[in-house]
Amino acid sequence: MTMFVDQKPSSSPSPTYVLVHYLTWLSIFPLIKIYLKKGSLFVYYYHASAGGLRFVSLLRLLRLVSQEPTRINDIFYYDLPHGQIWNFRHMIFRASSAQLKRIECIIKTCLPFLDSSGRNFFAVNVRKTWEPWLQSLLLLRRTGKHLAYEKDLPLDQVILVSPFASLLDFLELGQNSGEEITVTNQPFRNKVLLYSLGAFWLSLWRLVSKWACLLLKLPTFSTPPNKKTQSVGIEANWHLSRLDQPNEIVLDDFFWWRESIIPPERIRYMYDRESPQPTFDRMEKTNAIGIQSSLLNPRFCGDAPELLLKKPEPHKTIKSLFFDLWLSGRLVCRALFSDELTRSVVSIIHWYYIKSAELADIYKSLGLRALCHATEGGFDVFSLAAKSADAIRIGYQWTCLAGIDYVSARSHDVFFFWGQHDGQLALDSGCVSKHMLASGCFLTSRSNPQASNEAQAVTGEFRERGVDYVLAIFDASSPTPNFYRFFLEWLIEDPKLGLLIKSKGLNSWADLKIRNTSLDDRFGELLQCSLDTQRTYLMSSNVSPGDVALAANFAVGVAGISATAVAALQGARVFYVDYERLDQGPQNPYTIFHSLGPNRCVFYDLETLKREVLKYAANPKSNPHLGDASPILHRLDSFCDSGASRRIAEYVEWYMEGLDQGLGRDEATLSATRKYAEKWGNDKVIRGL
């Protein structure tokens, strides 16, 4: 299997291969520059706009580009030893963290009114903004290097174009190394101009809007909310179960509220992203339980444009808005006339400082005093906006991490972790949340009897066909054709094997085929042969991993450990396929499943895993602890029960009760944390007492 679709040979004796991070109309400038220096080009792209594709077509007509641009389908390669995604994430974390003191100095100069905790919040979130940019950049650089090896090209014949190229220089990540391909800049560098000018325009617009509201008394809401009600806002991010089947879907936006005594009138359900959008089905479910929905983004109206909330009047005073405009002018000048690192830091803090005030307008107008928003990567503008609106942001862990990455440093006001493993990982990542609590894993209480019965019935049918051992397969959100190929070939060769597949985000064989055929042309043929055996079955992606795993003899996960951990917590025997050997690298302190020893729950290759499964099937006493993760479960989940949802709900109730009694935001939060410690023990409060 090759990483790239073969391009037709060019008449040029030495064509240059160009990988474009974001193919837009701005890409024309670096592409022409490379052409003038190198000659004809082959273009690959990772992301592209319609305008960018049209401009490259124009370049092809002008014979600057040899062929139509080719999309790069995957840069992660989770199921190859050289994937190394978790080690890349740790390297990015170290490089970014090394600049934290310098970042804080810049923030102190630009936003002198912040206290030390405020500066720390901004500094960590600047780092979190850089980290996903860097991840894509470094993985694309590695992809370009492999392209050079595949095509037998010298490294200088492969070039990466990215708006984030300068990050490699000031974070000292080997931009000038002779062992790497060249990485060149594309406008706008690190989004500096976009952020800076965008923030200035937004601050000016907010000032004008305030004057207009005061002078013209413009109406601000299509349906005015009851401002006396102190509400909890929940962002629409996952799914909604039906009222009569509260555990129908494992990831339910209302999972904790269903365990609470907070009346539905105090919940505001907010749509603010491309997916999910309000549909008739979702509206029917929220109306049935009496929860009011609001639509915050006019681009994603779905089936309910009438829910769109008009922009409210800015909550700041005229004086404060004038100050913001003056500050914006200063920050624009600073961003335009500084070194690369300072420009990037200033533009990021400028944009999110102003953007958070706009979000705070919405939160205040809705009467929000607590916000549950699932977005975790990048700059935490939601916590910043909540603070400006005199509210808190409450977060809860929904995935178990295999190591430090760009979401592990939480910055919510209150965050609930499953247990010791992820709590320590957050602390080591520089988490700035003031209240960190252990609640246990809420997913273990989301078992769906219908899904469990379905999985058990399927494995029963397998065994009637002569199957002796069933494996539950958990894949990743990116293609894993090598991982699948091994199990599908084993299935075809071995009539005693059955497979239960729970794919991440996919619910049909057609979708599974499309995802993996993008990297393996023959995957569809292999998949069809496996289906012909009638010993493989695809479960819904919305069911709990535990419901699938408990019907199998063993569950096998790849890329991340989250599904594996949930299955283990529900009593299943589990395997994690660690292609990159995490315990032998910088993520070693967090390799919790590896700590159980070799040939138990972690395997570096699938041949060894297969050998151990067959030995166990022939004689369970040959390796009685195979797949048994019970010795580490208390580190994954501090409670190992099904009460996490209720504990989170109870905390929110205590917080809202404090507000109702006249306590301020911080006092109510501290009161709730103290009550949590009194009930569940001080050891369940990682930070906050």
Q: Which of 22, 334, 347, 332 is nearest to 195 (CA)?
A: 347
Whether the CB-CB separation of 445 and 663 falls below 8 Å is answered with no
* pLDDT for residue 219: 52
| 29 neighbors 18 (Cβ within 8 angstroms) | no
Residue 282: per-residue pLDDT: 96
Q: Does domain 447-628 have CATH number 3.40.50.2000?
A: yes
Instruction: Output 108-117 pairs: Cβ under 8 A, ≥24 positions apart.
Output: 110/330, 110/331, 110/334, 110/346, 110/349, 110/350, 111/349, 111/353, 117/432, 117/434
Residues 6+ apart with CB under 8 A from 688: 414, 434, 435, 436, 437, 670, 673
Decide if pLDDT at 214 tops 80. Answer: yes
Give the three-class secondary structure for 144.
helix
State the pLDDT confidence band at 618, using cuts at 50, 70 and 90: very high
Spatial CA neighbour of 370 closest among 385, 355, 354: 385
Average pLDDT for residues 162-190, to the nearest whole number?
Answer: 88
**Residue 375 tokens, joined:** 């977005």
In whole angstroms, give the CA distance from residue 673 to residue 687: 9
In sign, the C-alpha dihedral spanning 264, 268, 274, 278 is positive
pLDDT band of 3, cuts 50, 70, 90: low
Burial bucket for residue 179 (CB in 10 Å: 0-12, 13-18, 19+): exposed
The sign one gets for the Cα dihedral 660, 665, 667, 669 is positive
Tokens for 139, please give them.
Answer: 């993985």
- Measure the CA–CA gap between 218 and 205, rounded to whole angstroms: 15
Give pLDDT, residue 10: 47
Q: What is the pLDDT of residue 221?
A: 46
Question: Tokens at residue 421, please?
Answer: 């493993």
Q: Tell me, what's the pLDDT at 8? A: 52
pLDDT at 224 over 50: no
CB neighbour list of residue 441: distance below 8 Å, 6 or more residues apart: 397, 400, 418, 419, 565, 566, 569, 636, 637, 644
- What local confidence, expressed as pLDDT, does residue 213 receive? 87
Q: Is 594 exposed, middle or buried (0-12, 13-18, 19+ CB in 10 A)?
A: buried
Residue 9 has pLDDT above 50, yes or no: no
Angle at 37 between CA 33 and CA 38, to 5 degrees: 110
Separation CA 455–CA 136 (nearest Å): 37
Q: In whole angstroms, what is the distance from residue 457 CA to residue 541 CA?
A: 18
Q: What is the DSSP string of 423-438?
A: HHHHHHTT---SEEEE
Query: Distances from the Cα of 508 to the Cαs of 504, 539, 586, in angstroms?
Result: 11, 9, 37
Q: What is the mean pLDDT of residues 251-275?
A: 96
- At 220 the pLDDT is 46
- In sequence order, what E strands does 518-668 have? 536-539, 554-558, 574-577, 602-603
Q: What is the pLDDT of residue 188?
A: 85
* Pick from 671, 108, 565, 163: nearest CA to 349: 108
In the chain, where the domains are located: 16-186, 447-628
pLDDT, tens digit (0-9, with 9 covering 90-100), for 442-489: 999 999 999 999 999 999 999 999 999 999 999 999 999 999 999 999
d(C-alpha 334, C-alpha 152), whole Å: 45
Per DSSP, 252 falls in state: B
Asked whether residue 593 carries a pLDDT value surpassing 50, the answer given is yes
Residue 78 has pLDDT above 70, yes or no: yes
* Amino acid in position 474: F
Instruction: List the structure tokens of 143.
Output: 């992809």
Please compute the mean of the pLDDT values over residues 629-637 and round it to a whole number: 98
151 burial level (CB within 10 Å; 0-12, 13-18, 19+): middle
Residue 2 has pLDDT above 90, yes or no: no
Q: Answer yes or no: is pLDDT of 536 > 50.
A: yes
Give me the chain's average pLDDT, please.
Answer: 94
- How many percent of the chain have pLDDT more than 70? 96
Q: Whose CA is closest to 208, among 334, 359, 329, 324?
A: 324
Query: Is the pLDDT score of 514 beyond 70?
Result: yes
What SS3 class is residue 232? Answer: strand
Helix 116-150 to helix 85-97 angle, to the nearest 10 degrees?
A: 140
Lowest mean pLDDT among 116-130, 237-251, 360-374: 237-251
* pLDDT above 80 (res 4): no
Positive or negative torsion for Cα 636, 637, 641, 646? negative
519: phi then psi, degrees, rounded to nearest 5: -115, -15
Three-state helix/strand/coil letters over 521-564 = CCHHHHHHHHHHCCCEEEECCCCCHHHHHCCCCEEEEECCCHHH
- Residue spans of beta strands (DSSP E) within 173-291: 182-185, 231-235, 267-271
Exposure b/e, 36-71, CB count within 10 A at least 16 = b: eebebbbbbbbebeeebbebbeebbeeebbbeebbe
